[in-house]
A and B are shown apart, each in its own frame.
Chain A
Amino acid sequence: MRKKAYLLMLLPALLLYSLFVAYPFFSSLGLSFYDWPGIGPKKFIGFGNYRNILTGFMAPEFFRAAWHNVIFFIWSLVLSVVPGLFFAFLLAAGIKGTKFLKVIYFFPNTLAIVIVGFLWGLLLNPQWGLVNQLFKAVGLGFLAKPWLGDTKLALPTIIVVTAWRGLGFYILVYLAAIIGIDREMTEAARIDGATEMQIAGRIILPHLMPIIATTSMLKFIWTFNIFDIVYAMEGTQGGPAGSTDVLGTLFYRIAFGGLGSSQVGMGLGATVVTLIFLIVFPVSVFYVFIIEKRVERGE
């Protein structure tokens, strides 16, 4: 009886999950085996879309985009975790104005991606943007660059902007974890003569490793689903010359056409989505596994 009640209580969530997650996923998976422009009868082509994407005419674009996702993940992780930890340590030390700084750090996170893209687009304008103007004003004119128009700079620029926007989240998460560490341990270490650096390196950091691992996995999942910031700053083409193209923008171009394409390929687009899923899924499973273990250990 009790079991049935539990199952009944699970039913609404299960229904919503089936409708909005499971059904679209399996529908998309099925679609990846068809040639379909989004209307009319679907033509079954087996693994044709997968061949086109992995070894056919789409392969160079697909692997280039996937590689950009990898670069995006590595650098945005470094630019989130390292400064995130640094500022979290500072805030945990109880310096003056901590509350105000928390608000300041978190503020970019509250901005919509489109606004972030628009604002940074203005700031980074090569002719009259504030960034280049500042460099020129302080005698560093050689650093004034076409940030979003150079194939070597565009992706790093977007990564930095993304890290800037998300930094507040990492600071708050790490700060919460630091505050959660038993103060007796750090105080005992101090009494034993440990320096602040030793306390940070040998007590606090090891305690933060699980949360760093968790945020890293989340970062991986988010990065492989990234679309909005690239779209806002470089459009669906992921320019210049495809140097910022990621799997999200590639999918959008294929599935919905966008400017400059009279062709759409929902089946081909669904294939890209399925491949993104195959990349992200193992990490997601591992992430859930780690979380379960931590819960079991009572962390």
Chain B
Amino acid sequence: MTRKLAILALMVCLISPLWAQSKPATVTIWGWRAQDVDVWKSVETALKGKGEQITIKYEVFPPTEYDSKLLVSLQGGVGPDLMYTRRLPGARTQALIDNGYITALDGLLNLSAFDPVSLSFIQANKKTWGVPFANQVVGIFYNKAIFDKFGLKEPQTWDEMVAIAETLSKNKVTPFFVAGKEAWTLAMQNAMIGVSYPGDAWIGKLAKGEAKFTDPEYVAMLKDLNALKKYFQKDFMANTTAEQDVSFAMEQVAMIFYGVWGNTNWLKTNPDLKFDFFPVPPKTKNVPAKIYTYMDGSYGLNSATKNKEAALKVLQFTASKAYGELFSKTTGEITAVKDVTMPASKPILVKCYDKMNTIASTNRYWVGSPFDAGMPSVYNILQEHMQSMYLDLITPEELAKKLQDGISTWFPAFKK
């Protein structure tokens, strides 16, 4: 009898791991980020390590074609199980929500690994429609060797920054490289300055309709920004971000207005590059310096998926600290998961992550803002007219008026 029981116990021990394993399943994911291929391979390995028999099939589409391809496929009922979705507010993801193509994740997943700000970028109708994957930080990146050579320190005010530019200029160093040919970088530049000068609180008033783009503080910022162009490289309106990356990586320029995502490229070009980051300084010290951060996108669940159980397991993993660490280590970008230790080999990520958690602006008027939810958006207007201002085709006052007039055509708080 004892022998029989022992055999039975042995059999149970042998078979039980098989019970614990899930049924094999393949989860398809569509996205626009080619740099995430290795991330999904690692996720698959991690899930298999936990006994989940899930194979992940990640398909990448060019960013410019992704949304059209996704829309057509979802309407035809042949979409993926999981899909990358753009942040809200935005017509593309809103259309997916309004037409029931993605499922709200509240109650299906534990999203406690994210802070409310990250989640707010993918929330609508009081529901959460995706798992955020990355946060971006934009500000000024500078070459430490050049700063050290001339005894320069991170500026605390706008005027200190101008003084640094003047010192560099006198010493035949190009203070700023600006990719003026790519209009979106100019819109981003304007927005990252706006959170410090005129500042977070002013943008908060703007969103409520209590301030206007034509207010003196915003016009003053535009004037100072326009005056700063004498410190940009010659003929900056004909340069691209690819040229900016090379110039910065090859230490031909001291500072750039850009996003943390650039760090991988710079280090690939020049592994010895020493660079750091500071938020755009405010005009005066009584306004706090802030940084512009935004959630880059999220993973949405197809409402019509036939692999819901497996897809949710993948999604739950992406909402964990383990995933956050894996994501940042693999891509060199900042995960949207909170309280993650950034890889020590990437000091710039450590710094930007810290800044993001301490001095991120709560209000904004570029991507991920209410000003980006209609046509023409602040983004649309800035793209064209920042170029016009830099080319002296319009004045800072005229740019401010174009913003105010354009947004007033649809923005509810401006219509009151």
Binding site for B on A (CB under 8 A): 37-40, 57, 121, 124-127, 145-151, 234-235, 237, 239-242, 256-265
Contacts and interface: CB of A to CB of B under 8 A. Distances in A.
Instruction: Give the 5 A-B residue pairs with the shortest CB-CB distance, closest first.
Output: A149-B238, A149-B237, A146-B235, A262-B90, A126-B235
B391 A151 contact: yes
B98 A239 contact: no
Contact of B91 (A146, A234, A235, A262): A262
A263 B373 CA distance: 7
A149 B95 contact: no
A127, A260, A261: most-surrounded residue (chain B CB, <10 A): A260
B288 interface: no
B71 A38 contact: yes
Interface stretch (B1-9, B179-187, B343-351): B179-187
A39 B238 contact: no
Given A40-B98, A150-B391, A263-B91, 5 more contacts: A38-B95, A124-B238, A151-B391, A151-B393, A239-B384
A146 B237 contact: yes
A293 to B, nearest CB: 42
Contact of B387 (A121, A126, A145, A240): A240
A238 to B, nearest CB: 9
Interface stretch (B263-271, B277-285, B308-316, B375-383): B375-383
B71 A265 contact: no
A263 B183 contact: no
B101 A262 contact: no
B379 A240 contact: no
B130 to A, nearest CB: 15
A263 B377 contact: yes
Given A39-B74, A262-B373, A149 B181 contact: yes
Contacts of A257: 67, 91-92
Contacts of B96: 39
Contacts of B391: 150-151, 240-241
Contacts of B67: 38, 256-257, 264
A125 B233 CA distance: 13
Given A57-B409, A264-B91, A39 B75 contact: yes
Contact of B99 (A39, A146, A148): A39
Nearest to B233: A127
B160 to A, nearest CB: 28
B370 to A, nearest CB: 11
16 contacts: A39-B95, A125-B238, A125-B239, A150-B237, A237-B183, A237-B384, A241-B387, A256-B67, A259-B184, A260-B184, A260-B187, A261-B375, A261-B377, A262-B91, A263-B91, A264-B67
B236 interface: yes
B235 A239 contact: no
A127 B384 contact: no
Given A40-B95, A40-B99, A241-B393, A148 B380 contact: no
Interface of B: 64, 67-68, 71, 74-75, 86, 89-92, 95-96, 98-99, 101, 180-184, 187, 233-240, 243, 367, 372-377, 379-380, 383-385, 387-388, 391, 393, 406, 409
Contacts of B74: 39
A147 B184 contact: no
Contacts of B187: 260
A123 to B, nearest CB: 12
Nearest to B382: A260
B372 to A, nearest CB: 5
Nearest to B243: A125
B392 to A, nearest CB: 10
A259 B374 CA distance: 15
Contacts of A258: 64
A39, A149, A151, A257: most-surrounded residue (chain B CB, <10 A): A39
A127 B178 CA distance: 13
Nearest to B75: A39
A46 to B, nearest CB: 19
Nearest to B379: A260
A151 B390 CA distance: 11
Contacts of B377: 261-263
B234 A127 contact: yes
A126 B233 CA distance: 10
B68 A239 contact: no
A124 B95 CA distance: 41
Contacts of A264: 67, 91-92
B243 A263 contact: no
Contacts of B101: 39
Contact of B380 (A121, A256, A261): A261
A147 B238 CA distance: 7
A237 B238 contact: no
Nearest to B237: A149
Contact of A235 (B92, B182, B233, B388): B182
A124, A150, A237: most-surrounded residue (chain B CB, <10 A): A237
B86 A262 contact: yes
